A and B are shown apart, each in its own frame.
Chain A
Amino acid sequence: MDPELIFHLPSDVLRIEDAVEKVVARCHRIIELERRASRVRMNLRVALAEALSNAMLYGNGADRSKRVRVELTITARAIITRVTDEGPGFDYEDIPDPTTPESLLKPDGRGIFLMRKLLDEVSFNERGNSVTLLLRRDQVRRE
């Protein structure tokens, strides 16, 4: 299925808020149909903000000349967003649990953890520079 929306943005964290709202606005009609629309909206916003932030700061090393690609695909069963940076990728499996007592007081390390908690599926490509976020529509309706 072709993406519903594709756009690129520079690695500038000040652009994240608008990019998130652009995606959420495109999903607006679908989200409003969900029983827990506010929860779906927030989960999508937070997870996408995390993915964009990771792509800009870690993937592209905050180099504004490097871009981030965002794709949104809406199917009958899911809202799927893919965020891809130009970086070399990173080891997404080596992420410590931020909820352990020794990690709780650390100011960072919660981004990927939150993505995984808020969405139904989070997957990375082999290189580790592209993350796909899947929010299942039917599952949300069953809540």
Chain B
Amino acid sequence: MPFIVEQSGAITIISVTGHLIVANRQELKHVVLERLRTGDREFLIDFAETGYIDSSGLGVLVSLSKKVREQGGELRLAALNEDLRTLFQLTKLDTLFTIVDSREEGLRDG
């Protein structure tokens, strides 16, 4: 399982270990939507242990962010290294998401 789910107060943290790509994006979608269905509203996706993200991975984050917002919640991103952050800048998705430097910052500000 490339996704580790933890809970810190009201915040659901999902760590992406490995890559977020076309082959596993549906797993992430399933995890977030299931948590959303059971009442979770604040999500922090932790990329500290992530190798790379492809366009399908970016796409699923866009789609999930929209669904979470529709339910009054927020999906934030944490711990993107410089290379991963570049992907968000190139695609201008850095304007769509709240991106924090670390999981700790995300929990503090959450």
Contacts and interface: CB of A to CB of B under 8 A. Distances in A.
Nearest to A53: B22
B59 A46 contact: no
Q: Which of A45, A110, A113 has the most CB of B within 10 A?
A: A110
A50 interface: yes
A102 B51 CA distance: 29
A94 to B, nearest CB: 17
A68 to B, nearest CB: 13
A105 B96 contact: yes
What does DSSP make chain A's interface, helix, strand, loop or mixed? helix
A107 B54 contact: no
A27 B58 CA distance: 26
A98 interface: yes
Interface stretch (A1-9, A10-18, A70-78, A124-132): A10-18
Interface residues of A, number: 27
Contacts of B48: none
A114 B90 contact: yes
B31 interface: no
A108 interface: yes
Interface string A99-136: 10000111111110110011000000000000000000
A22 interface: no
A14 B22 CA distance: 8
A143 B43 CA distance: 36
B83 interface: yes
Interface string B69-110: 000000000000111101100111101100000000000000
A25 interface: no
B89 to A, nearest CB: 10
Contacts of A14: 23
Interface in B19-67: 19, 21-23, 51-56, 58-60, 62-63, 66
A13 B62 contact: no
Contacts of A114: 54-55, 87, 90-91
Q: Which of A42, A57, A111 has the most CB of B within 10 A?
A: A42
15 contacts: A42-B83, A46-B52, A49-B21, A49-B22, A50-B54, A99-B91, A99-B92, A105-B62, A105-B66, A105-B96, A108-B55, A108-B59, A111-B54, A114-B54, A114-B55
Given A39-B82, A53-B55, A110-B59, 4 more contacts: A98-B91, A104-B92, A104-B95, A118-B90
